[in-house]
Amino acid sequence: MSMESSGELVGKPDWSRARRAWEDWWQRKGLALFVTAPRETPLFAADAPDSADLRTRWLDPDHRVRRHLHTVANTFYGGVAYPMFDTQIGPGSLGLFLGCGGELAETTVWYEPVITDPDHCPALSFRPEGYWWERHVEVMDEAVRRAEGRYLVSIPDLIENLDTLAQLRGPQEVLYDIVDRPAWVERAIWEINDAFKACYDLLWERVRDRWGGSCWSAFQVWGVGKVAKVQCDICCAISPAAFRRFVQPALADQCAWLDRSIFHLDGTQAMPQLDNLLSIEALDAIEWTPQAGIPGGGAPEWYELYRRVLSAGKSVQAIGVGYDEVLPLLDATGPDGMLIMTSAPSEQAARDLLNRVGWRTL
């Protein structure tokens, strides 16, 4: 029986079980353990491409697919982990599609604001055309063409709401605009919300999988239907009241429009917004990213945060959890609604951990 007909992915014989675990996790039922490790024996032959310049590494579809295939061939994907081709060209593709400039860097893309005069700025609208749209589509289409059941292809990290407006206008400028031009900020956020939906629909049609699901570039979440990570990193610079006025209405609408949504809570400076986030009924989950210089996602310092999110009826994604931190974390929170992202030093160590949490490996 082929992998196509069996409903599995090449090298992931328990993918059907993993899909069920993903869906249970979105419903706050059961544990979703995402564990990767170096594979003992390569799954197939796939040489790593030669080193290349920035443009090639980011924008050349063949180079990116070959680099990804090398990773897939040499990685064990345990539990709910799965091979995903990451289509992102920097964190904030929607801003590029709406007109801001982009400068490629080693690990990110730096953005150049384009709105200099909000009082005479035309309405923001998405059109599937232009340099950055074409580059994204080229990478996505080539990844889909060469997948052959070996991996899934993600939707890029679009970003939205006030973060995208800050990308287009400039972070400091948009904070002044909240005071000086509040009506324009509100209107622009809703225009960005409409642009997100229009853009998402076109991209989703390109990459949705044969199980009716999709996956998101950032944090590798998978689910049935339209899935996205949503965020507002600039919320650390505004009050909870300003969040409720400017960010929350469009964010709640976006979550209701999506089938599965998870909010990226970025650093302790964003904690004052947690009550606002937990009040959004359509938001399914919270992902927590501790900032640099403080304990990682598996540390005991965050147990109470995870319990608070779970008690509010949301699922949790804990990232950067050390291999030895997984079981103590589960003892503290319980398994239901927990998505734990970790890596193991070896394939056997990954299998041992999975067996200890009741996931029989194949």
pLDDT digits (tens, 9 = 90+) for 136-183: 999 999 999 999 999 999 999 999 999 999 999 999 999 999 999 999
Per-residue confidence (pLDDT) for residue 8, from 0 to 100: 85
d(CA 41, CA 291): 36
Residues present in the chain in total: 362
Mean pLDDT along residues 23-29: 98
The predicted-structure confidence for 202-225, as pLDDT tens digits, reads as follows: 999 999 999 999 999 999 999 999
The predicted-structure confidence for 91-142, as pLDDT tens digits, reads as follows: 999 999 999 999 999 999 999 999 999 999 999 999 999 999 999 999 999 9
Mean pLDDT along residues 77-97: 98
Give the 3-state secondary structure of residue 222. strand
Per-residue confidence (pLDDT) for residue 1, from 0 to 100: 29
pLDDT band at 306 (very low <50, low <70, confident <90, very high): very high
pLDDT band at 260 (very low <50, low <70, confident <90, very high): very high
Per-residue confidence (pLDDT) for residue 247, from 0 to 100: 99
**Pairing verdict, β 222-224 and 227-231:** unpaired
Per-residue confidence (pLDDT) for residue 3, from 0 to 100: 37
Q: With contact defined as beta carbons under 8 Å apart, do 92 and 109 qualify?
A: yes
Percent of the chain with pLDDT over 90: 95
pLDDT band at 7 (very low <50, low <70, confident <90, very high): low
Q: With contact defined as beta carbons under 8 Å apart, do 90 and 109 qualify?
A: yes
| Phi-psi region at 332: left, alpha or beta (left = phi > 0; alpha = psi -120 to 50) | alpha
pTM of the model: 0.97
Mean pLDDT along residues 218-234: 99
What architecture does CATH give domain 3-356? Answer: Alpha-Beta Barrel (3.20)
Per-residue confidence (pLDDT) for residue 316, from 0 to 100: 99
Mean pLDDT along residues 173-195: 99
Per-residue confidence (pLDDT) for residue 362, from 0 to 100: 66
d(CA 36, CA 139): 25
Q: With contact defined as beta carbons under 8 Å apart, do 76 and 122 qualify?
A: no
pLDDT band at 361 (very low <50, low <70, confident <90, very high): confident
Percent of the chain with pLDDT over 70: 98
Residue 74 neighbours by CB under 8 Å, 6+ apart? 38, 39, 42, 43, 46
Question: Is the pLDDT assigned to residue 246 strictly greater than 60?
Answer: yes
Per-residue confidence (pLDDT) for residue 51, from 0 to 100: 86
Per-residue confidence (pLDDT) for residue 2, from 0 to 100: 36
